[in-house]
């Protein structure tokens, strides 16, 4: 479903991604671990076209993300896609951030309805029906008319997940979705993510929740200093890491 090939990203002189290769099969959950500053968020942002690549390619469901390949006189070149096409590609990828980023002046229901109505042109009635369904699915059937300020952090994050799902994404990216939550609220968000994984969604999840990685992850990736240092089966990598840097990191978060 996702194929990342030789991806480099530089911010000026700062080399943040140093040749990342990764494959995420359809319907699987890939958990990305690694210390702060190792490039995890940048990698997700590249997949979602919030950053352009310095080198390399990313394919989602077979489509080259952000570019089209043009052959001229036997040489292949990449042309940046039109912003409209990029927006269309991006709308098929759901992203959930550490901060919930809900619209504060809209209720939970209105937050979830917004993009399908504005971007997809869905009728308000259809969007409402679907939003109600999604909010029920994340356990918020009784909170639909609440504003973000009237919801706990865990509830807000579940609205954010419902909002991403409202666009019927084929891929969901999570960037430390529980890091800003009080500890007692982490479980309810992880439960929704686990449910989503069990429904067959393809997911890439940046998190420090090792229990989630072990129980829900099909594949775990450990990043350090802009590169993938180690990857494999979570039970394998988390219990028996081969690399010293992975071992050190796990000793800190476990
Ligand atoms: P992580 O998510 O693993 O903590 P990030 O991907 O956020 O790491 O950051 C990796 C490195 O890239 C850090 O050194 C960070 O300061 C730098 N960085 C991230 N975004 C930008 C940006 N827009 N401009 C300059 N440097 C950036
Ligand atoms: Mg980050």
Most confident option among 60-74, 78-92, 135-149: 135-149
Average pLDDT over residues 73-86: 87
Residues 104-139 have pLDDT tens digits of 999 999 999 999 999 889 999 999 999 999 999 999
Q: How sure is the predictor about 68, in pLDDT bands with cuts at 50, 70 and 90?
A: confident
In the chain, what's the furthest Cα-to-Cα distance?
62
Average pLDDT (68-95) is 88
Cα–Cα distance, 142 to 123 (Å, whole number): 23
Give percent above pLDDT 90 in the chain: 84
Please give the pLDDT value at position 210: 94
Q: Which two tokens stand for residue 221?
A: 């990736």
Q: Is the pLDDT of residue 101 over 90?
A: no
- pLDDT for 139 equals 96
Taking the centre of ligand 2 as the mean of its atom positions, its distance from the CA of residue 41, in whole angstroms, is: 4
215-253: b or e for each residue (b if 16 or more CB lie within 10 Å)? Answer: ebbebbbbbbebebbbbeebeebbeebeeebbeebbeee
Question: Above 90 in pLDDT, residue 79?
Answer: no
Continuous H helices in 66-222: 83-90, 108-118, 124-137, 153-165, 183-198, 210-216
Q: Which atom of ligand 1 is nearest to the CA of 45?
A: 6
Q: Has residue 100 got a pLDDT over 80? A: no
Pocket of ligand 1 (CB under 6 A): 11, 14, 16, 34, 36-42
Q: What is the pLDDT of residue 99?
A: 87
pLDDT in tens, 27-53: 999 999 999 999 999 999 999 999 989
Q: What is the DSSP letter of 208?
A: S
Ligand 1, atom 5: closest residue by C-alpha: 39
Looking at ligand 1, which residue's alpha carbon is closest to its atom 1? 37
Q: How far is Cα 183 from Cα 73, in angstroms, rounded to an integer? A: 59
Distance 65 CA to ligand 1 centre (A): 21
Best probe residue, ligand 1, of 7, 18, 36, 42 (max atoms within 8 Å of C-beta): 42
CB 149, CB 103: distance < 8 Å: no
Alpha helices in 74-123 (DSSP H): 83-90, 108-118
210 vs 254 pLDDT, higher one: 210
Q: What is the mean pLDDT of the chain?
A: 94
pLDDT at 159: 97
Per-residue pLDDT, 69: 85
Summarize pLDDT for 218-237 with one digit per residue, the tens.
999 999 999 999 999 999 99
Q: Is 212 a residue whose pLDDT tops 80?
A: yes
Query: For residue 54, is pLDDT > 90?
Result: yes
Strands 55-60 and 75-80: what pairing?
Answer: unpaired
| Cα–Cα distance, 218 to 59 (Å, whole number) | 20
Quote the pLDDT of residue 122: 94
Identify the pLDDT of residue 241.
93
Q: Which-ligand-closest: CA of 42?
A: 1
CA distance 141 to 12: 47
């Amino acid at each position: 479903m996702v194929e990342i090939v030789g991806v480099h990203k530089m911010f000026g002189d700062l080399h943040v991604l140093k040749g990342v290769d990764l494959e995420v099969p359809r319907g699987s959950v890939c958990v990305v671990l690694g210390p702060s500053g190792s490039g995890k968020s940048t990698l997700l942002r590249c997949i979602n076209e919030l950053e352009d690549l310095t080198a390399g390619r990313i394919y989602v469901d077979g489509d080259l993300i952000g570019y089209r390949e043009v052959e001229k006189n036997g040489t292949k070149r990449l042309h940046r896609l039109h912003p409209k096409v990029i927006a269309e590609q991006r709308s098929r990828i759901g992203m959930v951030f550490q901060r919930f980023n809900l619209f504060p002046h809209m209720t939970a229901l209105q937050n979830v309805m917004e993009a399908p109505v504005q971007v997809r042109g869905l009728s308000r009635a259809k969007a409402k029906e679907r939003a109600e369904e999604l909010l029920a699915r994340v356990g918020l059937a009784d909170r639909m008319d609440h504003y973000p300020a009237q919801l706990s952090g865990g509830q807000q994050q579940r609205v954010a997940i419902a909002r991403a799902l409202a666009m019927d994404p084929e891929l969901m990216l999570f960037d430390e979705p529980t890091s800003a939550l009080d500890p007692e609220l982490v479980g309810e968000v992880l439960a929704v993510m686990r449910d989503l994984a069990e429904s067959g969604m393809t997911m890439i999840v940046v998190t420090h929740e090792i229990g989630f990685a072990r129980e829900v992850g099909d594949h775990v990736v450990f990043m350090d200093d802009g590169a993938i240092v180690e990857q494999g089966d979570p039970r394998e990598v988390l219990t028996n890491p081969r690399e010293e840097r992975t071992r050190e990191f796990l000793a800190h978060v476990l």
